[in-house]
Structure 1
Amino acid sequence: MLRICSLLVLILAPLPAVAEVAGTLRVIDGDTIDVGDTRVRLYGIDAPEIDQRCGGADAPMWDCGAWVTREVTDRYEGRDATCTVLDTDRYGRVVARCLIDGEDMGRALVAEGLAFAYRRYAMDYDLDEKAAAVNGLGLHGSGITAPAAFRATGRHARAARNAAAAPEGCAIKGNIASDGERIFHAPGQRWYDRTRISVQRGERWFCSESEARQAGWRRARQ
């Protein structure tokens, strides 16, 4: 009897609620949106970066990242979205599957050739991408580099440029934020590789953390 009661408790117990985010949609780029006050990375897709260019070989170079962002904005900006939260990424963004009038936004973008199936994380939109490629929709046939490869190449190039620009033995980056706060980034910190030094804006390199602090900079929190 005890075992039967235990089974009944398990059957009748409410399932844990699935987290949802709902609100007016604002487009950030091809695969990132704000829903209300929440930053959302669309699940299972990967779109070109805003500054990414496509082309090469026999195809002329063009600003495919900016084009995709405009196309997504034209289709979805200001509409109501309901998103099922699936995860959180390393940048603190919610990873979610979003519905617009009942339509899966991620699937629609892949099916129209505005984004790619992000097979590293999910295979949900694999067939949608293949169909778009067969029909030459959107980005397909434009000589595009996969967004993930573009990002990796950019990171390596930025790291090489930054290393070349640093005075010998002085690898700490003194950056000035948009609000004027002076922040320094040490090698190994989260935003170090992405941080640029603009001497024209008063930014500079430091040879030690103590030197940076004495000059009025604080250490980045990440």
Structure 2
Amino acid sequence: MTRFGRLFRDGVTTFALLGLIALLALKMNNRPELIQTGSFYVVDGDTLAQDGDRLRLLGIDAPEYRQQCQRDHVGWACGEEARKALDKLMKTAPAECRGSEHDRYGRLLVTCKAGDVDINSAMVRSGMAVSYGGYAAEEAAARQARAGLWAGDFERPRDYRREEQAERARSGDPLAGLGDYLRRFVGWDR
């Protein structure tokens, strides 16, 4: 066999092997979509629980339950209100949540619908959550309408969590400070 023939054979074999590896990788990465229906417990404005499992609404970030916001220079419990808003939406019709990925805390990342209502979108559109990798158009509409959080001043939930972690670290809890450092080091800020 000539040198060109061997190179051609080796090249074809290499490409065939790479193609086979790519197909296997795609098959292994193909996660089935999980569907959960029934009644859900609303933990906060972007987290649900059902039968011991936690679900996080994909593409949104709502105020933490204890988070306070300002409206007309008066504090209001925006975190509690976000939880109430999600609870109300989840009860409008039988809810169905779908997702295939998990976040770093093991929560299933889901998009939920109650009837024809996209719950994730409705939370952002009502101003009770901000866009977090999705729903930018809904956030722009809520901001323009000065709905929910946008009617006053608020701290982004991500920033609020970061400050809470820093406060725990300053309070003398050495493990809280270590955990905060490790999360920043690894880049696990939500």
* TM-score, with structure 1 as normaliser: 0.61
Change (3 A) 1:17 1:72: closer
Task: Select 2:69's aligned residue among 40, 54, 57.
Answer: 54
Instruction: Please show how residues 161-180 of structure 1 align to structure 2 within 5 Å.
Output: 161-163=171-173
2:100 corresponds to which residue? 86
2:169 matches 1:159? yes
The structure that is helix-richer by fraction is 2
Query: Unpaired segments of 5 or more residues in structure 1?
Result: 1-9, 164-170, 172-184, 194-222
RMSD: 2.9
Query: Unpaired segments of 5 or more residues in structure 2?
Result: 1-22, 24-29, 184-190
Deviation for aligned residue 1:17: 4.3
Q: Secondary structure at the match of 1:33?
A: strand
Amino acid at match of 1:125: Y
| Residues 25 and 34, structure 1, Cα contact 8 Å, conserved in 2 | yes
- 1:120-148 CA-partner distances (Å, limit 9, x unpaired): xx2x3001000011011111131001000
Deviation for aligned residue 1:189: 6.0
2:49 corresponds to which residue? 34
Deviation for aligned residue 1:79: 4.9
Percent of matched pairs sharing the same residue: 31
Amino acid at match of 1:75: L
2:146 matches 1:136? yes
1:196 corresponds to which residue? none
* TM-score, with structure 2 as normaliser: 0.70
Deviation for aligned residue 1:24: 1.4
- 1:180-200 CA-partner distances (Å, limit 9, x unpaired): xxxxx697469x99xxxxxxx
2:120 matches 1:110? no
Task: Select 1:65's aligned residue among 79, 102, 108.
Answer: 79
2:14 corresponds to which residue? none
Change (3 A) 1:77 1:29: farther
| Residues 165 and 177, structure 2, Cα contact 8 Å, conserved in 1 | no
Amino acid at match of 1:41: R
The CA distance in 2 between the partners of 1:152 and 1:132, in whole Å, is 25
| Residues 32 and 41, structure 1, Cα contact 8 Å, conserved in 2 | yes
The structure that is strand-richer by fraction is 1
Aligned length: 154
The CA distance in 2 between the partners of 1:22 and 1:87, in whole Å, is 17
| Residues 32 and 100, structure 2, Cα contact 8 Å, conserved in 1 | no
Moved over 4 A (4+): 185-190
